[in-house]
Structure 1
Amino acid sequence: MTDWKAFTVEIADHVAQVTLTGPGKGNAMGPDFWRELPLIFAELDADDEVRAVVLTGAGEHFSYGLDLPAMSPLFGPLLGDKALAAPRTAFLRDIRRLQAAVTAVADSVKPVIAAVSGWCIGGGLDLIAAADIRLASADALFSLREAKVAIVADIGSLHRLPGIIGEGHLRELAYTGKDIDAARAERIGLVNDVYPDRDAVLAAAHELAREIAANPPLVVQGVKDVLDQPKAGRVADGLRYVSTWNAAFLPSEDITEAIQAVFEKRPPAFRGK
């Protein structure tokens, strides 16, 4: 397969392992991530030797989420008082491009198992919400943190997680931006099982992937297609709505303050403006 900048891809025994590698700290999601993710899953979908996919992160963490410094050019035209129709339209296209990258995981014809260790923040949670099955190590921590940086989460968590963890748990995570550990993630159904460490969760994910791969591949793909059908339209409609909402309402003094606070490494002071 292609040499990737933000991933490695290894295939053995009908199982592909897709590993986030950065280059940002904590496998943060920069421009290469968003460009390469849909291309990788298109290649895997076209490869008849691949029957299941394990999705994981290199090193200590799954992902810190969106690489704000690297992706700041997306937000730049919306900051200040000049966010007119043209920059908002460009921003809408950018949101939908990022949404489509994660949707490529959800729409993959091959079952995807996420193996999570360490931090899984923001965009990382969007990504694992698009997987079919999630497993975690005991040190995993999860956070739907967009509210803390003055953003309505718009890449899929708000639309895919209701069917995984339920409305009440989702609203708590989305309104507060709080962190939860692997034990709570298991209790609310975000992950199926928790394992002692990164090696153990990765081994368990591969064992499960091989078990899936041992079944007739077209039947497994058919099962996934049937299970996905009832929610596909709802998720697509929700993604279009939130992208339009953010293109209209995301520009604010609060998001400027949030981005400045990230760069200055200080707590933000939000004013609701």
Structure 2
Amino acid sequence: MEKYTAIEIAQENPKSSVFTLYLNRPRRSNALSVEFFTELPNALSSLDHNPNVSVIILCGKGKHFCSGIDLKALASISSDFQTPSDRGRSGEKSRRAIKLMQEAITAIEKCRKPVIAAVQGACIGGGVDIITACDIRYCTEEAFFSVKEVDLAITADLGSLQRLPAIVGYGNAMELALTGRTFSGSEAKALGLVSKAFGSKADMDEGVRAIADGIAAKSPLAVIGTKAVMLASRDMSLSQGLDYVATWNSAMLLSGDLKEVAAARLQNRKPSFSKL
């Protein structure tokens, strides 16, 4: 397995098809380094193409999920943008760098396998960008969140302003983004940012693992299809979304998985599905 500096991949249970992807800079509260933006899409691609992986849990090592982009990395990236005496070329280079970072976060959505965020401690700035790209989000009640970029004199540009309104509503997203205020895990649950706020990290780890195992036991074709259709339909009208899923199912519906579910019910047993 490839070695990374900013992240780590682990298979906690060798008998499970649930893999964990850790943000792995605990001494820096998992601040996002320059290397992170190369390593994350590479790791997700590796997991996506691994037939032994069904579900990915994304979490942070140490006390915090993510404290945002590393300010040293931000300074380094900013200095790379500068082309002496040519504002146009500096701007074009800056845009390319931002697009590459955006693509690293969007790789979470592009991964066919479901990605579940499990948040403890801080989830600040870039951390919110990451979790809004995940398919399901959970946290501890003591977790805290902030769309912090406005306080750093920048406009959030890695996805929060685009994805957050669809999750918590336009008005709530606007308020959070303009104030940059900190809000708790309990409020994140009330807003709909997370599906559940657990009483402790141990409870969250156990609960999220059980949820991931439950998804991993389902038909992989149905799971990846559900994710793909949900994401595509988000940017479509109702009629376009219905047409898209009709086309999807015309290719995928009559699978061995469907036959296995029918046979398992007749034989009163759990279905067993082939890997992708």
TM-score, scaled relative to structure 1: 0.82
* Matching residue within 71, 78, 88 for 1:68: 71
Residues 22, 58 of structure 2: 8 Å contact kept: yes
Greater relative CO, 1 or 2 (CA 8 Å, sep 6+): 1
Counterpart amino acid of residue 78 in structure 2: F
- Give the letter aligned to residue 117 of structure 1: Q
Moved more, 140-149 or 77-86: 77-86
**Bigger radius of gyration, 1 or 2?**
2
Q: Does 1:102 align with 2:105?
A: yes
Partner of 2:271: none
Counterparts of 1:181-220 in structure 2, within 5 Å, are 181-220=184-223
Task: Point out the more displaced range, 114-123 or 190-199.
Answer: 190-199
Map 1:30-109; keep pairs closer than 5 Å. Answer: 30-76=33-79, 84-109=87-112
Q: Deviations over 1:153-207 (max 9, x none)?
A: 1100111111110101100011111110011100010011011222221221111
1:161 counterpart SS class = helix
- Residue 71 of structure 1: how far off its partner (Å): 2.7
Aligned to 1:180: 183
How many angstroms apart in 2 are the aligned matches of 1:194 and 1:142? 13
SS in 2 for 1:27: coil
Distance 1:132 1:98, change over 3 A: same
Task: Report how far residue 30 of structure 1 moved.
Answer: 0.5
C-alpha displacement of 1:70: 2.4
Q: Any runs of at least 4 consecutive aligned residues in structure 1 with deviations exceeding 2 A, and if so which?
A: 76-83, 230-234
> Equivalent residue for 1:251?
none
Which sits farther off after the overlay, 100-109 or 199-208?
199-208
2:165 aligned to 162, 166, 171, which one? 162
1:77/1:83 contact within 8 Å kept: no
CA distance in 1, matches of 2:201, 2:235: 32
Mean CA deviation greater in 223-232 or 172-181? 223-232
- The normalised TM-score by structure 2 is 0.81
The corresponding residue for 2:229 is 226
Which range moved further: 133-142 or 74-83?
A: 74-83
Structure-2 separation of matches of 1:71 and 1:57: 20
Amino acid at match of 2:57: V
When structure 1 is superposed on structure 2, of 70-79 and 165-174 the one drifting more is 70-79
1:4-23 matched pairs, under 5 angstroms: 4-11=4-11, 12=13, 13-22=16-25
Deviation at 1:35, TM superposition (A): 1.1
Identity rate, percent = 36
Assess if the C-alpha contact under 8 Å between 1:24 and 1:30 holds in 2: no
What whole-Å deviation, never above 9, does each CA across 1:21-73 have from its counterpart, x for those lacking one? 12661000011211100000000110111111100000000000100112312
Deviation at 1:80, TM superposition (A): 11
Aligned counterpart, 2:174: 171
Question: Structure 1: any 5+ residue segments left out of the alignment?
Answer: 235-273
Rounded Cα–Cα distance in structure 2 between residues aligned with 1:78 and 1:221: 38
Unaligned runs of 5+ in 2: 238-276
